[in-house]
Structure 1
């Protein structure tokens, strides 16, 4: 708090030197918390039987982080994922409104979190729904879909979707394979073919496409190509795990070539557009658990880690989290939980347990009164934006599983 109290005085002094009127800069109002009406409100949550149903579902699997200070957060994160999982396998991103849709990215992370916590049939339902979505072989998935699975065409397609889906299939299969439905093999083939064409066998960056920023771009972003690299590398290993040696060799070759292209076109700074755009959270997508040892040369991994450190510093927000990118840092000073949790996951997967734990502490301390993790935390530390946010909930579950030494 001392730093935040001193800062306005420093600004005021600078204003006086320049001849401007003294006084703190005006700040916009802090964002409010958004949730579905009555979500998990007492006593209805217990009286309508939902509390018992959630408890039985949790007992059928495991809660990563059980016995740690983060057990309660993991408990509610899993309940939040389940609460947003439809019977047809779609997963809404958050509490209705603009978040009441199914994103392939969010669904992929939810599938892995469900699998990692012992809910293989639910993971299989999500992957099977992904396999049945409308799909353009030239580009891949739509940005998002309605909860009945129908395509929405109000936004450009996002070619990073196939990367996340390939990574998810491989991750779920590693958990034992029970969460991978038969339809995932054909989905894997389609996504590998699409990505291979988009990157010309790995020799070029894919065409520009929106990424997790959800904005149109005119240059290829790291947020688009990093998930593609992660997905192709994962698919190469997944083909080997299922006995398709020829497909594994082809896909590994594509991934290796694409890794070289990423280094050439996005290094050495690994900004959003390589040499411009500032650092953003996508640089963490080049680290474990999205890449494995050997996917990138050791000197490149070192450079990526240095870029992640710079991103954390330059995108740091007043409440203690980060903004999605250094050029996303806005006057209101909100911290974003998905990107903060993404850093926690890469820390945990890279053996940086203390750093991951510190981020988990922060996320846990800024939950809502009903235990959910919101999308944002205001500059004063209050939960804001949609809550729960399924992507963040999934990232927290995966982080805790990594800390436990899950595969």
Structure 2
């Protein structure tokens, strides 16, 4: 792990880890009971209120502390500063993007049920669209954020962004993202943790992460399914190399679904000594997607076998971070978020809201995450997506409204929310924006 800040760095003491690893879930319960829920010293600054294009058509961070270029210089509802000329190419690209989403946003506004009487959710959708656009525009794939240590392409984040782009009305752009991810994929099917945009180079020596393979293959299946029926074969053909390479490594690495995948860091981005729930869930998503895309009996049997393996191992101990311990993990939401329904019960999914609760109302990535009172919007929005896709409308709406209420002054979705409700760290964040759009999309289909 490099010395520079990581988006998902976990700050845990070695002694605490040893005790918790040995004691299992009960230790986490005791820790929550006897330790203060909030460390009042943990105040992370908000790095920016948003990111926007300036008059030179260059992205810049918009200050969150009142210095420099402020939010009052933004054109309302955009990620463009007012100084950007009317004739600027970036204004044309922004208008084209919004025009492409018009049918989706109109359907959201005209929808019935959960979204019809909640203008806050339509405003949230507008913010998430703008956030995703500014972190995707004129790039080969979305970067995670625009602050220095986030200005990279994470395959995991880009996979969710590609699915969101396809769902909101930009299937061709989604396909471009996936073909770029195909160009980054190593011959053995693995991905680096992140890439410098426009290159196939990792910015540091972080370990490769196996979850990217499963999630990118899942995204491919979602994008193909979004295409009109008459175009699906062509879309699938364009992704043939990605599908073949990803499926081969998933099948080979799991013995056709009968053994655990390789030990790898997951979205926590820390060294692991055993397979995590996040790697298991994303591997299952990839195996299921491979079966859906190819229709092969071998692929289908492997997905079924791996589902059984997951339930017999992690499921037997309550779907904790590791097979027999580690406490609750927001990675459980990967299952329903990627369409793997009926594995975790509704009660288990809903329990994440309590098990991982933070004072401001969001959740932490896991029970063994540092008890600093900080809510993480990637985990909170992933849970909202899982709830929306599994039919838990009321609970999904509650989380989306919480996210809407904790945006920055410019309307962007931040990475973190402090114990007192203040947005913190990076804003905007592509993964959170994508999760929000996908959750709203799922709710509007109900």
> Which residue of the partner structure matches residue 245 of structure 1?
none
Query: Are the counterparts in 2 of residues 143 and 156 from structure 1 also a CA contact under 8 Å?
Result: yes
Q: Which runs of 5+ in 2 are unaligned?
A: 1-35, 52-59, 63-70
**1:160 to 1:339, Cα distance in 2 relative to 1, 3 A:** same
State the partner residue of 2:41.
28
Out of 42, 62, 66, the residue aligned to residue 74 of structure 2 is 42
User: If the length of structure 1 is used for normalisation, what is the TM-score?
Assistant: 0.84
Counterpart for residue 197 of structure 2: 147
How many residues are treated as equivalent by the alignment?
A: 368
* Deviations 1:331-382, CA, capped at 9 Å, x for gaps: 3x01011111111111111111111111111000000111110001111101
Return the structure number with greater relative CO, CA threshold 8 A, min gap 6: 2
Q: Does the aligned pair in 2 maintain the 1:222–1:282 contact within 8 Å?
A: yes
Q: Which range moves more in the overlay, 29-38 or 47-56?
A: 47-56
SS of 1:202 mapped into structure 2: coil
Give me the whole-angstrom Cα distance separating, in 1, the residues matched to 2:163 and 2:187: 24
**1:134-177 Cα distance to aligned partner (Å, 9 max, x none):** 4141x611111110132215111101111101110111111115
Query: Aligned-pair distance for 1:25?
Result: 8.5
| Structure 2 CA distance for aligned equivalents of residues 25 and 118 of structure 1 | 42
Cα drift, residue 263 of structure 1: 1.4
1:198 aligns with 2:198: no
For residues 26 and 221 of structure 1, the distance between their equivalents in structure 2, rounded to whole angstroms, comes to 27
Cα 1:378–1:126 shift into 2, 3 Å: same
Shift of 1:236: 0.8
CA RMSD of aligned residues (A): 2.4
Stretches of structure 1 lacking an aligned partner (at least 5 in a row): 1-22, 241-247, 293-297
Equivalent position to 1:321, from 362, 385, 391: 362
Residue 253 in structure 1 maps to residue 301 in structure 2: yes
- Does the 8 Å CA contact 1:89/1:122 hold for their aligned counterparts? no
- The answer to whether the 8 Å contact 2:155/2:191 transfers is yes
Contact 1:129 1:149 (C-alpha < 8 Å) held by counterparts:
no
Cα separation, 2, equivalents of 1:116 and 1:161:
20
Deviation string for 1:285-336 (max 9, x for gaps)?
22254315xxxxx5x443xx333233221210000000000111423x0101
Cα distance, 1:77–1:168 mapped onto 2, change above 3 Å: same
Q: Secondary structure at the match of 1:256?
A: helix
Verify: 1:263 aligned to 2:311, yes or no: yes
Cα shift readout 1:50-86 (whole Å, capped 9, x = no counterpart): 5664244212223373354211221121121121115
Structure 2 residue 118 is matched with structure 1 residue 104: no
Of 263-272 and 65-74, more deviation after overlay is shown by: 65-74
Structure 1, residues 233-272: CA drift from partner, whole Å, max 9, x if none?
A: 12211223xxxxxxx2111111111111111221221100
What is the match of residue 222 of structure 1? 277
Aligned equivalents of 1:259, 1:26: Cα separation in 2: 39
Q: Does 1:65 align with 2:115?
A: no
Distance 1:56 1:183, change over 3 A: closer
Could you tell me which residue of structure 2 aligns to residue 403 of structure 1? 443
Contact 1:202–1:261 under 8 Å retained in 2: yes
Query: 1:183: Cα distance to partner?
Result: 3.7
Tell me, in whole angstroms, the C-alpha distance in 2 between the residues paired with 1:362 and 1:52: 33
Contact 2:38/2:371, CA 8 A, preserved across alignment? no
Match of 1:3 in 2: none
Which aligned pairs between 1:96-245 and structure 2 lie closer than 5 A?
96-137=147-188, 140-152=190-202, 154-176=205-227, 180=235, 182-240=237-295
Query: Which TM-score applies when normalising by structure 2?
Result: 0.77
Q: Distance in 1 between matches of 2:74 and 2:304?
A: 53
Aligned to 1:349: 389
Cα distance in 2, alignment partners of residues 211 and 276 from structure 1: 16
Give SS of 2:143's match.
Answer: coil
Which residue does the alignment assign to 2:353?
A: 312
Q: What secondary structure sits across from 1:126 in the alignment?
A: helix
